[in-house]
Structure 1
Amino acid sequence: MKGYRILFFTQENRTIHGDTVAQWILQRARKLGAAGGTMTAGGEGFGHSGKIHSAGFFEMADRPMTVSVVTDEPTCEALMAAIAEENIDVFYCRSQVEFGRLGADQS
């Protein structure tokens, strides 16, 4: 199947409606029917400001988070529209991909 892989980059201390931005994106992608998604905590990173974000002892809330979502085009567009509607400030990369399953019971 053809579709998109979208990577969202944020920090653990950023929240919306009581969830972290990363959790909100992952949950919304699931509700919209994305093929799959993964949230990953990073050890260290930097963003547009150049500030280092890390999972250091005193800065755990500032830990970088990445959400990777794979989905078809209509679900990708619906997810991007939902993020825009909530006015969430998040950096993303979107790439066209082919995705599917191999060797597993497809039930």
Structure 2
Amino acid sequence: MNGTILRFYVHEKRIHRHIALFEWLLEQAKKLGIQGGSAFRAIAGFGRHGVLHEEHFLELAADMTVEVEFVVTEAEADGLLALLKKERISIFYARVPAQFGAIEGDR
């Protein structure tokens, strides 16, 4: 099947409607009927301002990036992006064409 990989990059402490934005994204995708999504926490990285962010063992206040990823149809991607625009959420995303499917085997 052809579709798209839709990735969002947010700070883990960013809040929208009283919950973490990455959790809100997952909840909204589920409500839209998207069949799955995942959130991945970065261990280090830098963004548009060029500042390197790293988590240190004793650092409790780290605000690392979380990547929220969905493998979806074009229509599902359009629907989720439209919702974000409606909610007026400023967010960086990547949309990549993809072929996807599932291989069923003996369990």
TM-score band (shorter)?
0.7 to 0.9
Residue in 2 that maps onto 1:17: 17
Question: Given the superposition, is the C-alpha separation of residues 82 and 63 from structure 1 closer, same or farther in structure 2, using an over 3 Å criterion?
Answer: same
Q: Report SS of the residue matched to 2:67.
A: strand
> Structure 1 residue 4 and structure 2 residue 4: aligned?
yes
What TM-score do you get using the length of structure 2 for normalisation? 0.86
| Cα distance in 2 for residues equivalent to 1:21 and 1:53 | 19
| Cα distance in 2 for residues equivalent to 1:25 and 1:52 | 25
Residue in 2 that maps onto 1:68: 69
Choose 1 or 2 for highest CA Rg: 2
Q: Give 5+ residue unaligned stretches, structure 1.
A: none
What TM-score do you get using the length of structure 1 for normalisation? 0.86
Aligned partner letter, 1:103 = E
Q: Give 5+ residue unaligned stretches, structure 2.
A: none
Contact in 2 for aligned 1:54/1:64 (Cα 8 Å): no
Q: Deviations over 1:48-106 (max 9, x none)?
A: 1222233333354411100011111111101001111111111111011111111159x
Q: State the shift of 1:24 in Å.
A: 1.1
Question: Given the superposition, is the C-alpha separation of residues 59 and 10 from structure 1 closer, same or farther in structure 2, using an over 3 Å criterion?
Answer: farther
| Cα distance in 2 for residues equivalent to 1:90 and 1:84 | 10
Question: Given the superposition, is the C-alpha separation of residues 65 and 43 from structure 1 closer, same or farther in structure 2, using an over 3 Å criterion?
Answer: same
Residue in 2 that maps onto 1:78: 79
Identical counterparts, % of pairs: 31
Count of residues in correspondence between the two structures: 105
Residue in 2 that maps onto 1:41: 41
| Cα distance in 2 for residues equivalent to 1:104 and 1:26 | 28
Aligned-CA RMSD value: 1.8
